[in-house]
């Protein structure tokens, strides 16, 4: 392919920008969500739930995360009543 058939670099960069912006927004949103979850259940519990390879420890941590999420949802539903 000759270089005369290729779009200019600035055109390629402008095509990618919306996707990068979307990706950055998703990453920021997930970081915020993980940060809130870590504050709710404790970062060590969240770490064990997500990163520890021992399945028993991971199950226990995931159970604690689920209980904390249920409590958080109950608190929110109580506020809406």
pLDDT tens string 10-58: 554 555 555 667 767 766 777 777 777 777 777 777 777 778 888 888 8
Enclosing domain of residue 66: 8-80
Q: Which phi and psi (to 5°) does residue 54 adopt?
A: -70, 115
> Is residue 53 included in any domain, yes or no?
yes
Is 2 within the bounds of a domain? no
Let me know: does 49 contact 64? Beta carbons within 8 Å.
yes
Domain-embedded: residue 13: yes
Query: Does the predicted TM-score (pTM) go above 0.75?
Result: no
Number of domains in the chain: 1
Q: Is residue 3 assigned to a domain? A: no
Instruction: Decide if 47 is inside a domain.
Output: yes
Q: Is 1 part of any domain?
A: no
């Amino acid at each position: 392919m000759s270089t005369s058939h290729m779009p200019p670099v600035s055109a390629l960069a402008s095509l990618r920008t919306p996707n990068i912006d979307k990706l950055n927004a998703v990453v920021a949103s997930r970081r915020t969500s993980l940060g809130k979850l870590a504050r709710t259940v404790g970062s060590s519990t969240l770490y064990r739930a997500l990163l520890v390879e021992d399945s028993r420890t991971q199950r226990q941590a995931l159970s604690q995360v689920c209980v904390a999420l249920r409590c958080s949802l109950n608190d929110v539903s109580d506020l809406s009543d």
